[in-house]
C-alpha cells in the first residue's frame, strides 16, 4: 500500500490524516525496521506491507468504536505496538497502556514513545492475567490483536474493562462461535463481529466488539496453568 492509497483508505474510515501523523508513522516504520535487525518484532518489513498490514489494519478498530469518545485504552499483547501505538498517533487524546509479556518488546516501545514524543503512554512488562488480577474495571476499551484463543483472551481482558464498556478483539477469521459460556461467566455480551477483507491483498479480518454488563467475579482471571488446562 503506497502512501497515497494509505491516506485514501484511512480517510474512508473517517479518520483525518495530517502531515504530523504521517511523519510519526514514517519514524515508527524506520525504528521498527532498524530494531527488527536485532530483535524479532515483526515478520513484515516491506514498507508497503507495514503500512497495510500493521498501520492501516490497526486503524480498522475504528469500524466498531468512536475513538474520540475514549478516555483510556489498554492494548494487551501489543507486541511492537499494534494496534496501540498507531491508535495513539491518530487519537492523541487517549491515555494508553501497553501490556506485553516480553520485555524486549517493551524496551522497543519505550524508544518509539520517546522518539515520537507521545504523551500519556505507559508500558508494562507483565502477563495480562497477572495484571488483571490486581487492576480491575479500569479501562473504557481493552483491545488485543492476534493474541491467544478468543475465550482465553476474554478471561484476561474483561476484568480490566469498566462496567458497561468494551473489549475489542482483532482477529483473522471469526473464532467466537463457542464463546457463549465464557461471555456469560464473565458478565459480558458479544455486540457484533465485523468481518471484512484488507484492501489489496484481501486477507480476512474480524473485529469482535464485546460489552461488559456487570462486575467480574474476583476468581477471574485464573492462573495461567488453570486457564490453559481448562479454558472457559
Partnered with residue 125 across adjacent β-strands are 100
Q: Which three cell numbers stand for residue 101?
A: 509479556
By CB under 6 A, name the one of 79, 108, 118, 169 that touches ligand SAM. 79
Give the whole-angstrom CA distance, residue 53 versus residue 162. Answer: 30
By CB under 6 A, name the one of 96, 132, 139, 145 that touches ligand SAM. 145
Q: Which is nearer to ligand SAM, 70 or 144 (CB)?
A: 144
Q: Which is nearer to ligand SAM, 18 or 38 (CB)?
A: 38
Q: How far is CA 29 from CA 24, 40, 67, 99, 140, in A?
A: 9, 15, 23, 20, 28
Cβ–Cβ < 8 Å for 96, 75: yes
Q: Which is nearer to ligand SAM, 78 or 123 (CB)?
A: 78
Q: Which residues inside 2-31 make contact with ligand SAM, applying CB under 6 A?
A: none
Long-range contacts of 133-138 (CB under 8 A, 24+ apart): 133/159, 133/221, 135/160, 136/160, 136/216, 137/161, 137/162, 137/163, 137/215, 137/216, 138/72, 138/74, 138/162
The stretches of 51-197 forming alpha helices (DSSP H) are 57-59, 84-90, 103-115, 128-134, 150-157, 180-185
* 53 touches ligand SAM (CB under 6 A): no
* 146 touches ligand SAM (CB under 6 A): yes
* 127 touches ligand SAM (CB under 6 A): yes
By CB under 6 A, name the one of 60, 65, 98, 100 that touches ligand SAM. 100
By CB under 6 A, name the one of 3, 17, 102, 198 that touches ligand SAM. 102
* 101 touches ligand SAM (CB under 6 A): yes
Q: How far is the CB of 170 from ligand SAM (least distance, A)?
A: 7
* 82 touches ligand SAM (CB under 6 A): yes
* Residues at the interface with ligand SAM (CB under 6 A): 76-80, 82, 99-102, 105, 127-129, 145-148, 156
Amino acid at each position: 500500500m503506497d502512501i497515497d492509497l494509505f491516506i485514501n483508505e484511512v480517510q474512508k474510515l473517517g479518520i483525518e490524516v495530517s502531515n504530523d501523523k504521517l511523519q510519526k508513522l514514517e519514524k515508527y516504520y524506520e525504528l521498527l525496521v532498524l530494531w527488527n535487525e536485532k530483535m524479532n518484532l515483526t515478520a513484515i518489513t516491506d514498507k508497503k506491507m507495514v503500512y497495510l498490514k500493521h498501520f492501516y489494519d490497526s486503524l480498522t478498530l475504528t469500524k466498531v468504536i468512536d475513538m474520540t469518545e475514549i478516555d483510556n485504552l489498554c492494548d494487551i499483547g501489543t507486541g511492537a505496538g499494534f494496534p496501540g501505538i498507531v491508535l495513539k498517533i491518530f487519537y492523541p487524546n487517549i491515555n494508553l497502556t501497553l501490556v506485553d509479556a516480553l520485555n524486549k518488546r517493551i524496551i522497543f516501545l519505550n524508544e518509539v514513545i520517546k522518539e515520537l514524543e507521545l504523551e500519556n503512554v505507559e508500558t508494562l512488562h507483565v502477563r495480562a492475567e497477572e495484571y488483571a488480577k490486581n487492576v480491575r474495571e479500569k479501562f473504557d476499551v481493552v483491545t488485543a490483536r492476534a493474541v491467544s484463543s478468543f475465550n482465553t483472551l476474554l478471561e484476561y481482558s474483561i476484568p480490566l474493562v469498566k462496567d458497561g464498556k468494551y473489549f475489542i478483539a482483532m482477529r483473522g477469521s471469526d473464532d467466537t462461535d463457542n464463546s457463549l459460556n465464557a461471555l456469560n461467566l464473565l458478565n459480558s455480551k458479544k455486540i457484533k463481529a465485523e468481518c471484512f477483507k484488507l484492501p489489496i491483498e484481501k486477507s480476512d479480518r474480524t473485529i469482535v466488539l464485546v460489552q461488559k454488563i456487570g462486575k467480574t467475579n474476583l476468581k477471574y482471571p485464573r492462573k495461567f496453568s488453570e486457564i490453559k488446562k481448562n479454558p472457559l
